[in-house]
Chains A and B, each alone.
Chain A
């Protein structure tokens, strides 16, 4: 944890209103945008962000500073978002992506021509259709989506992402593998 964080946390624990406002202004934008990235509507994103802060101030006394403040907040965000999703269940993909991938390869592990990847040009065309990506994303389970966002958008380090999602690096690999391949399959299917 850097010194700025330590100082800030100390003041927050003392309920210094200036520190409280500062920390909210520093991190809210990022939390809110992450919620939008996870596919929540504006009002849902605000709800979740708000409950992240409420929980944060409830538990800040137990914050040990092993991770950065931001990582800590994103860990709370992930839990809140999962709770929210459970209460408002939406359809998630139940297909077994491992099986889908298996079908692309012959017994030697080489691509079967009829299942080989589309030309990047064609794929790009579909991937630039925002409504299409958006639709494909909708079906991803929350943990995969969160892993994908933290990795590809925030370009966080593996260790940080594992902390936030509370998974091992092997598990994270599986989440990224599934997220990327499900998205790829979805876009390919819709562009053929």
Chain B
């Protein structure tokens, strides 16, 4: 059976996506509330990071991006000639 430490390693390096561990991981999570908490935390981390990124890119709206694109296009055109 997988130990908690092995589960942490497998789950956080995405090795659990391979079918090899699927059943073992499910069984372990059924029995171990610490590891359930751990995997839940990783989901929260992902969601939190998404929210943060959305917030950071909020003011990069279409107008602002268009201005940036305009400057790049101008620069590239000059650069080429």
* Contact in complex: A120, B55 (CB < 8 Å): no
User: Residue on B with the closest CB to A120?
Assistant: B40
Q: How far is the CA of A130 from the CA of B52 in the complex (A)?
A: 6
Interface of chain B, helix or strand or loop or mixed? Answer: helix
User: What 0/1 readout, one digit per residue, does chain B (56-79) give for beta carbons within 8 Å of chain A?
Assistant: 110010000100110111011101
Q: How far is the CA of A118 from the CA of B45 in the complex (A)?
A: 13
Q: Which of A49, A101, A120, A177 contacts B37 (CB 8 A)?
A: A120
User: Which residues of B sit under 8 angstroms from A20, Cβ to Cβ?
Assistant: 73, 76-77
**Cβ-based interface call for A71 (8 A):** no
User: Which residues of A sit under 8 angstroms from B4, Cβ to Cβ?
Assistant: 105, 109-111
* Contact in complex: A187, B45 (CB < 8 Å): yes
User: Which residues of B sit under 8 angstroms from A50, Cβ to Cβ?
Assistant: 71-72, 75
Q: How far is the CA of A158 from the CA of B13 in the complex (A)?
A: 11
Q: Which of A54, A116, A127, A176 contacts B48 (CB 8 A)?
A: A127
* Contact in complex: A109, B3 (CB < 8 Å): yes
Q: How far is the CA of A172 from the CA of B52 in the complex (A)?
A: 23
**Cβ-based interface call for B5 (8 A):** yes
**What is the number of residues of chain A that contact chain B, defined by CB distance less than 8 Å?**
56
User: Which residues of A sit under 8 angstroms from B38, Cβ to Cβ?
Assistant: 117, 184
Q: Which of A33, A128, A177, A180 contacts B60 (CB 8 A)?
A: A33
Q: How far is the CA of A172 from the CA of B4 in the complex (A)?
A: 22
Q: A133-B48, A176-B14 are known contacts. Are A57 and B79 too (CB-CB below 8 A)?
A: yes
User: Which residues of B sit under 8 angstroms from A33, Cβ to Cβ?
Assistant: 53, 57, 60
* Contact in complex: B68, A32 (CB < 8 Å): yes
Q: Which of B37, B45, B76 contacts A180 (CB 8 A)?
A: B45
Q: A133-B52, A134-B52 are known contacts. Are A152 and B46 too (CB-CB below 8 A)?
A: yes
**Cβ-based interface call for A151 (8 A):** yes
Least Cβ–Cβ distance between B27 and chain A, in angstroms: 15
Least Cβ–Cβ distance between B70 and chain A, in angstroms: 9
Least Cβ–Cβ distance between A55 and chain B, in angstroms: 11
Least Cβ–Cβ distance between B71 and chain A, in angstroms: 7
B interface residues, Cβ below 8 angstroms from A: 3-6, 8-9, 12-15, 32, 34-35, 37-38, 40-42, 44-53, 55-57, 60, 65, 68-69, 71-73, 75-77, 79-80
